[in-house]
């Protein structure tokens, strides 16, 4: 069933985005009494269309497995790669995406452009969340710098091409059932030695992802896939 995230509720009616009403009427071509699922405060409701207003029929018992809470710290990338990471990471259950300025990233985002980008990125994650039937939309934060990551609580690690001993499997096995993770993915060309050293000072652990050479946009998928796998019963 088609699922939408809603921004508010008036009595028994859920208030969706304009674009969602358009999607329901023009794209999905729905009719009177057609049913959709609406997510409100992470709860899922079975709803019915009435003159293209959305009314609650019943609350459904659909919960998403949201542990651990995963924050991806990623470089600024070309639009296509960025969109791709946002969409796939959402599908694979990411909690938070933190675009971060990194030395070897060639992409710059000016302050004027940042707000536009954030709106666009959030829209991509909302749509991906609806398609993959999530009950929460990942948070895309404003653009950060590494110095913002002092004193974060949780398991913190860097995907490092320098690290040879400690690999992701050892780390995830050690921190099984942790409830919070911060993961740094470097740009093409990797993090600079200085960046990596500073992150280590802040308590981030460098880990190898194994012998395969992965593109930047593949790394978040690889990580989220194995974290999902790790947490499977």
Assess contact for 144 and 182: CB atoms under 8 A.
no
Stretch that binds a second copy, among 16-24, 38-46, 101-109, 222-230 (CB under 8 A): 222-230
Q: From the centroid of its chain, how far is CA 199?
A: 22
- CB nearer to a second copy: give 146 or 219: 219
Which residue among 91, 103, 148, 163 contacts a second copy (CB under 8 A)? 91
* 65 is a site residue for a second copy (CB under 8 A): yes
Q: Which two tokens stand for residue 166?
A: 């400690």
Among 41, 80, 151, 211, binds a second copy (CB under 8 A): 211
Distance in angstroms (rounded) separating the CA atoms of residues 105 and 109 = 11
233 lies in the binding site for a second copy (CB under 8 A): yes
The SS3 of residue 218 is: helix
Q: Report the residue number, 56 or 218, with the smaller CB distance to a second copy.
A: 218
Binding mask 160-179 for a second copy (x = CB under 8 A): -------xxx----------
**Rounded CA gap, 88 and 78, in Å?**
16
**194 class by beta-carbon count within 10 Å (0-12 exposed, 13-18 middle, 19+ buried):** exposed
User: Residues interacting with a second copy, by CB under 8 A?
Assistant: 64-65, 88, 91-93, 131-133, 167-169, 210-215, 218, 221-222, 225-226, 228-229, 232-233
């Amino acid at each position: 069933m088609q699922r939408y995230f809603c921004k508010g509720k008036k009595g028994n009616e859920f208030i969706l985005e304009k674009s969602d009403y358009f999607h329901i009427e023009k794209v999905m071509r729905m009719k009177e009494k057609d049913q959709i699922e609406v997510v409100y405060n992470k709860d899922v409701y079975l709803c019915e269309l009435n003159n293209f207003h959305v009314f609650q029929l019943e609350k459904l018992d659909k919960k998403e497995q949201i542990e651990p809470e995963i924050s991806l710290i990623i470089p600024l990338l070309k639009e296509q790669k960025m969109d791709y990471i946002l969409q796939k990471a959402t599908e694979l259950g990411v909690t938070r995406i933190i675009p971060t300025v990194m030395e070897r990233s060639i992409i710059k985002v000016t302050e004027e452009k940042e707000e536009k980008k954030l709106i666009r990125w959030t829209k991509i994650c909302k749509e991906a969340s609806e398609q993959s039937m999530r009950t929460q939309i990942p948070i895309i934060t404003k653009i950060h710098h590494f110095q913002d990551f002092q004193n974060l609580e949780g398991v913190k690690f860097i995907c490092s091409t320098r690290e040879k001993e400690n690999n992701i499997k050892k780390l995830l096995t050690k921190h099984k059932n942790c409830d919070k993770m911060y993961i740094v993915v470097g740009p093409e060309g990797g993090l600079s030695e200085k960046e990596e050293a500073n992150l280590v000072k802040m308590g981030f652990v460098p880990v190898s992802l194994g012998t395969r050479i992965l593109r930047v946009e593949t790394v978040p998928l690889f990580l989220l896939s194995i974290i999902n796998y790790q947490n499977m019963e």
